Structure 1
Amino acid sequence: MAPATRLSAYFPVEVLHALDRGRCGEPFEWLGPHRHGDHWYVATVAHGAAAVEVICPPDGDVWPAQRLAEGVFAASLPHRPDDYRLRIEWPTGKKIINDPYAFGTLLTEGTLHAFRAGELSHPGDILGAHVVHLNNVSGVHFSVWAPNARRVSVVGDFNEWDGRRHVMRRHDHEGLWEIFIPGLKAGALYKFELLDHNGHLLPLKADPFARRAELPPATASVVAAPLSVNWHDASWMAHRASVDHQRLPISIYEVHVTSWQWDEHGLPFDWNALATRLIPYVQAQGFTHIELLPISEYPFGGSWGYQPIAMYAPTARMGSPDAFARFVDSCHVAGIGVIIDWVSAHFPSDEHGLRDFDGTKLYEHSDPREGVHQDWDTLIYNYGRHEVRQYLLGSAVHWMRHFHVDGLRVDAVASMLYRDYSRSEGEWIPNKHGGRENLEAIAFLQALNTTVAREQSGVLVIAEESTAWPGVTRNAAEGGLGFSYKWNMGWMHDSLGYMQRDPLYRRHHHHDLTFGLAYAYSEAFVLPLSHDEVVHGKGSLIARMPGDRWQKFANLRAYFGFMWTHPGKKLLFMGGEFAQHREWHHDRSLDWHLLEDPMHRGMHKLVGDLNQLLVHEPALHRCDCEPEGFQWVVGDDTHASVYAYLRYGGEGVAPILVVCNFTPEVRRGYRVGVPEGGAWREVCNTDSRHYGGSNLGNSGQVHADELGCRGQPYSLNLLLPPLATLILRPDRSEG
């Protein structure tokens, strides 16, 4: 046995001191097995241990380690220890472990090169925490990007949160750090402990690539097991990749999962309960998709998920990642697509998150004129760094590859596109050409949509973009942003503004409803009545309608009839389908008791019937994105506030006539031109008694007269119910 003085002589004093304090930036150069002259030694750090021994199988030779500093132990061996264990005597007892510093790097040169170039296709498969088997030893491999840190450690419940015990290996050129910790299992809590470039200790950081997180308000990352899900959606996935979604009916039910419905104990449902409650509900209501407000882990419930902190981890509020995957699978089996809101515009400033991650502005910009969202007091991603783009692109694809989600709705795109978004003069920095466009964000969004289209055929990427930015849904190769759809915020603003007016004054704002058709085909649109329209004092949809109680319901029914027949895919936030009266609040369940009221129940039935019509009438969806699919019949009757239009679905498809009367007056003998003779059947009348209306109409059908009207060869003599929308189609069965 080599004397202690000789072993300590192997270590420069400053190195031994750094190892003991956990401040050595290159621990693999000193810890683990090393040769020194004719001898080998094994060194380890074990603060709080009473003794350390090195055990060498197969003979079981035991080599006691000497304490070189308070927490540093080393044992001298006469030969190379090709296979050994550490037996450590802790106050709680002895424990035999594999030495983390006996293992080499798991990051190959190809991986390092791809990361360095920003070309790592699936960074979440490499970075973060992954359960692996190495040399027949199971454990967890950790890797994190922190190029400006002096030292990075993994800390957790497995090492008493002691940053001196698992200091990571540094890859200088890439700024990546890694370590394999043998014996560690899924479920372990962990964070990263970093020293900045000046050696100052930073707040503990959650893993940016964590695939599971602790239940808030706790903030640790959790080692995730590989997903274990028996998928049953192969036919769904194959069909999704083969169809043209623009020619399909799409009606989206937007859901905030923790406030949709609560159990008998006043608690939100988890994913398993939602699968048994939400999916049948959506299926019965006829929606084709569910859109979930952000489910990436987020610390503050009041952000509704729009300030995420773990872009690869489903929130622990709803259960495990496996449970979320099973929820998506169940949706697909039921014929329902799943869209998730995804936030790449900003991130929160919580100290355990990405802010100043390695002591520098790593994920964000250093200048607050570029890096701080003044509206939300959040931080803006630096899209000019390829590592940041890689992180975000990897997140987007991660949800599709691993959880089979059918679409991303990208939040706050407008704030990404403009450097002066919500900023006054002098509060923003122009781009290199002196303009206001955020060129780096534009390139990122184009890369996002190109990547998704290449890797995940049939997946939708939808932009919440509120300005007139050109080409949001034009192919990125042609200079567009490449989104599948854009939320039509202009239509939402104009139409809601119109509906809120007293019918007496609507004649002065008639073109608020017709203007949307002037640009309806400039993009592929989703018509949204989203969560944003029922919060912050705006009131619910039903509360914003004018008139007495009956008129409020009639107005909203007529509005839904207009919306469901207007070109564009549909989106409705939860509660709107049964006319919830109070404003939505994220900490309360929806008011399901309202369905005991016939008026609310009638609204609920109407939305379900409109969804059925949307699906079963090709004219209402096939040409949503083609101007040939729409024709005005009456667009200028400002005095009566009546609108009439035709929807077409292509050759061989029966047209649909829509007539809206947005006044409380009954209009008899109102003549509307149609392209076909014979009987036209009322397939929906929002004034029906089934929906809570006055039950006025045209007895179910009306015959076309051979009397031309407004350029059409035939016409219908209609009774228009008050505050109602009529939907008619020719009854071709008579021919």
Structure 2
Amino acid sequence: MLESEVVLSPFEQAELKLLDNLQQASCEDVFAQLGIHFCEKQQRFLYRVFLPNALAVKLEASGSSLDFQRFEQSALFHLWLDDNSLPANQQLVVQYADNCVAYLDCYRFPSTLDVNAMYLFCEGTLAHAHRHLGAHPMEIENTLGTRFCVWAPNAKTVSVVGDFNYWNAQCHVMRKHPACGVWELFIPNVQQGNCYKYSILTQTNERVEKADPYAFQMQLPPHTASVVNGLKEPSLPHQTAPLLHDINQPISIYEVHLGSWRRHQDGSYLSYQEIAQQLIPYVQSLGFTHVQLMPVSEYPFDGSWGYQPVGMFSPSSRFGSAQDFADFIDAIKSAGLGVIADWVPAHFPSDSYGLAYFDGSHLYEHADRRQGFHPDWQTHIYNYDRAEVRSFLLSNAMFWVQHFQLDGLRVDAVASMLYLDYSREDGEWVPNCYGGRENLGAISLLQHINQHLYHEVKPLVMVAEESTAWPGVTQMTTTGGLGFGYKWNMGWMNDTLAYMTKDPVHRKYHHHNMTFAMVYAFSENFILPLSHDEVVHGKGSMIGKMPGDNWQKHANLRAYYAFMWAHPGKKLLFMGSEFAQWSEWNHQQSLDWHLLQYDDHQQIQSLVKTLNGVYHQHEALYQDGLKDKGFQWLDSHNADQSILAFARFSKALQQTIVCISHFTPVVHHDVCIGVPFAGEYQLILNTDDKRFGGSNVTPGDVLKAIDTPFNGFPCYIKINVAPLATYYLKHLAQQ
């Protein structure tokens, strides 16, 4: 041995190895090294701290102080103690180059992770994972701080980095719970508003920074950090809106994209509070019962409209804080309106700070690209068979409806979840264990979520955007259904819009497009959706789809809207369509509100308001609207004149409304329509009325049925039909 060689003691050798691990933030069991531990050999307690950039450390307690010893001029300090019963008021005083600060050691606090909850989490049945995972301000041992928990079972180590530790992964390495793969750490003095991420060391020694999947708030894009946010308990529920779960209630939904409904003159977003102040009275004035919000969970790319979310538990910070969003929802419900929000459990984007390859492995997404990546949207697909992912999605649905007291969730892209071969060619998908194309994991998850939410949150309705003929979407899970309350009727929407875009001279050849939906209209509980998807990507606005000159376009739209409001199914209309905006929807700017200075746009808006009013006031238009006994065709075969007539009935036939729609630009005189009852029929709506911008052709205020059998009915009415118009007639003999 050379004289100059330094011989390290076993203790120093161990410290040197530990120092290397701490400097790399790769110490896999940091709680076994830092904090206070009993040393058998020394029969004393060793208190270690690792404080990057510190020059000296003192332990102060009860008016006295002890100096830590610094190891090799490093950030590792230790202190020998005779016992570990330190006073509650003890603290560390850390000397840096330019200041001296008090420091509370995070490694002296015990774990507070709920073992029973983590068992349920790993079973896929934990419905409140957000109460255990994520960042939660709390008090432990009379010390205020924040507890961080994250699921990353395949990580070597995980550190909390943030604006409270200079984003240094060395400072706050977390404790791992191997049984559940969760990492946990309580950090004193971290409080509401602090920004943070998780710095994850993968098995390939790559370090990645990830936002918190369970964060209640995120920074405003393009910034990507999570924000500590202790949400307040929700206020008492409001139940003044028509209940979605009651199929015999009138449900009329106004779909809104918060970022483009209205903006400031400089193009900046309104806040949640400003939206509430303007949106609520507007929706009320038009008679809608519910507001449906396009996705509100945080998303990085404006062009995704929210359908590629990263912060699944974070209301978008574009418009304010999570509490601002809660107040916004509370204001809507206090006004007697219901609220539905879009929910996106079908896929997530590949942003580096998001869920993709979260701990260096395919944690949230399916590992097989044929099942875990969506070719159309270039997004990742959740692994619905993984228990912890099921707990994540179940908890997320529960969070939105329970904490914010939403009346329902509209689940996006359900078809893409149900089919393994969705948008895939042969060889690009993997059959299930039975050789079929059904995604059994997604099916069972949707059933479980619906079943759990309906049991735990009342009243509530789940709505499916499901574009195929999958059977039993709105049937109960106990009978094999998916358990949704409603399904968007995409078939009705596609067929009727295809008809309406045709020149009237050709419509008689496409008459079936307006009648076919009644073949299956009562197979599910349907909502008729004229949604955002129909006014983008070159499809044209609702008024822009209509053929003819300016007057005919407006007349077509008036007749179509009235046909829709009388048709079986609940109603949904996307913002801007209620006043016939000419341009397609543009998410980057406000609606064209200036159009309301023109009569024809005011008149369409007035019609929508009137339709909602008539709909609410007449039980026949909504009672039994999802059952075949509430509907009867009066004339579905008059293709030559492009006339459709049907009757709507309330319960026990106490009220009857006749709807007659005509879709050519000419007047037809003395049209005979068979009706189910004798007596008088009063005109209660005429879309050709002058006040709606029509030509004011009227069939008269009251029509008397002629007591002669006609077209299979005991009597008929004779009516003059205006061009491109819809009439509602109420039978007066029934009260």
- Structure 1-normalised TM-score? 0.96
Aligned to 1:440: 441
Shift of 1:434: 1.2
Measured against aligned partners, the alpha-carbon deviations of 1:537-562 in whole angstroms (never above 9, x if no partner) come to 11111111011111010001100011
2:371 maps to what in 1? 370
Judged with a 3 Å threshold, the aligned counterparts in structure 2 of structure 1 residues 244 and 462 are, in CA distance, closer, same or farther, namely: closer
Give the 3-state SS of the residue equivalent to 1:719 in structure 2: strand
Residue of structure 2 in register with 1:117 after alignment = 123
Q: 1:95 aligns with which of 101, 112, 135?
A: 101
User: 2:238 & 2:554 partners in 1: Cα distance?
Assistant: 42
**Offset at residue 624 of structure 1 (A):** 1.6
1:181 aligns with 2:187: yes
1:139 pairs, out of 133, 145, 150, with 145
Counterparts of 1:362 and 1:176, CA distance in 2: 13
Answer yes or no: is 1:18 the counterpart of 2:21: yes
Shift of 1:12: 5.0
Partner residue of 2:36 out of 27, 33, 38? 33
Distance 1:481 1:723, change over 3 A: same
**5 Å matches for 1:606-621?**
606-621=607-622
Query: What amino acid is aligned across from residue 129 of structure 1 in structure 2?
Result: A
Alignment correspondent of 1:227 = 232
Q: Which amino acid aligns with 1:559?
A: Y
* Distance in structure 1 (CA, Å) of the matches to 2:13 and 2:405: 54
Residue 64 of structure 2, aligned match among 60, 67, 79: 60
Contact 2:298 2:309 in 1 (8 A): yes
Q: Tell me the SS of whatever aligns to 1:316.
A: coil
**Which is further off, 695-704 or 144-153?**
695-704
1:657 Cα deviation after fit: 0.3
DSSP 3-state at the match of 1:290 = strand
Question: Does structure 2 conserve the Cα–Cα contact (< 8 Å) formed by 1:449 and 1:461?
Answer: yes
Cα shift at 1:116: 2.4
- Give CA-to-partner distance per residue, 1:448-482, whole Å, 9 cap, x none: 11111111122111111111111111111111111
SS at match of 2:695: coil
Distance in structure 1 (CA, Å) of the matches to 2:307 and 2:566: 31
> Does 2:662 align with 1:661?
yes
Would you say the 8 A contact 2:240–2:337 is kept in 1?
A: no
Whether contact under 8 Å (1:131, 1:226) holds in the other structure is no
Encode CA deviations 1:157-216: one digit per residue, 9 max, x unaligned.
Answer: 0000000110000011111000000111010000000001132212x1000001110000
Write the letter of the residue equivalent to 2:70: Q
Q: In the alignment, what sits opposite 1:570?
A: 571
> TM-score, length-normalised on structure 2?
0.96
- Corresponding residue to 1:195 among 198, 201, 211: 201
Aligned to 2:218: 213
Distance 1:526 1:488 in 2: 6
The alignment status of 1:74 with 2:75, answered yes or no, reads no
Amino acid at match of 1:435: G
**SS at 1:246 equivalent:** coil
Contact 1:63–1:76, Cα closer than 8 Å, also in 2: no
CA distance in 1, matches of 2:503, 2:653: 41
Q: Which residue of 2 aligns with 1:472?
A: 473
Q: Measured at CA, do residues 731 and 69 of structure 1 come closer, stay the same or move farther in structure 2, by a change above 3 Å?
A: farther
Q: In 1, are the aligned partners of 2:233 and 2:403 still within 8 Å (CA)?
A: no
CA–CA separation in structure 1 for the residues paired with 2:716 and 2:488: 35
Note closer, same or farther for the CA distance 1:652–1:69 as it changes in structure 2 (3 Å cut): farther
Amino acid at match of 1:199: N
For 1:153, which of 154, 159, 175 is the aligned residue?
Answer: 159
Amino acid at match of 2:308: Q
Preserved CA contact (<8 Å) 1:144 1:176:
yes
Q: Which runs of 4+ in 1 moved over 6 A?
A: 4-7
Q: Which amino acid aligns with 1:599?
A: D
Matches within 5 A, 1:285-304: 285-304=286-305
* Shift in Å, 1:651: 1.8
Counterpart AA for 2:605:
H
Q: Deviations over 1:486-523 (max 9, x none)?
A: 11111000000000001111111111111000000111
For the residue of structure 1 that corresponds to 2:442, the secondary structure is helix
CA deviation vs aligned residue, 1:12-46 (integer Å, no higher than 9, x gap): 53223202321101100010111223222221111
Give the drift of 1:87: 1.0
Q: Structure 2 CA distance, aligned partners of 1:265 and 1:398?
A: 34
Q: Distance in 2 between matches of 1:480 and 1:356?
A: 33
* Residues 343-422 of structure 1 mapped to structure 2, 5 A cutoff: 343-422=344-423
How big is the shift at 1:653? 2.7
In 1, the alpha carbon distance for the partners of 2:284 and 2:605 equals: 13
1:245-284 aligned at under 5 Å gives the runs 245-284=246-285
User: Is the alpha carbon distance of 1:561 and 1:92 closer, same or farther for their aligned partners in structure 2, counting shifts above 3 Å?
Assistant: farther
Counterpart-to-counterpart distance in 2, 1:162 and 1:225? 24
Render the CA deviation track for 1:227-251: whole Å, top value 9, x for unaligned: 266x3644449x85xx852111111
Q: CA RMSD in A?
A: 1.7
Separation in 2 of the partners of 1:98 and 1:429? Answer: 53
How far apart, in 1, do the equivalents of 2:10 and 2:541 lie? Answer: 75
Further displaced range: 355-364 or 87-96: 87-96
Contact 1:8 1:68 (C-alpha < 8 Å) held by counterparts: no
Give 1:34's aligned amino acid: H
**Residues 281 and 92 (structure 1 numbering): CA distance in 2 closer, same or farther, change over 3 Å?**
farther
The amino acid of 1:468's aligned partner reads A
Asked if the contact 1:16/1:69 (under 8 Å) is kept, the reply is: no
State how far apart, in whole Å, the 2-side matches of 1:460 and 1:244 are.
Answer: 5
Give structure 2 stretches of 5+ with no counterpart: 1-6
Q: Secondary structure at the match of 2:565?
A: helix
Kindly state the Cα deviation for residue 648 of structure 1 after the two structures are TM-superposed. Answer: 0.6
Q: Secondary structure at the match of 2:728?
A: strand
Post-superposition CA distance 1:591-635 (Å, at most 9, x none): 001111111110000011111111111111111211100000011
Q: Which residue of the partner structure matches residue 4 of structure 2?
A: none
Counterpart Cα distance in 1 of 2:17 and 2:582: 70
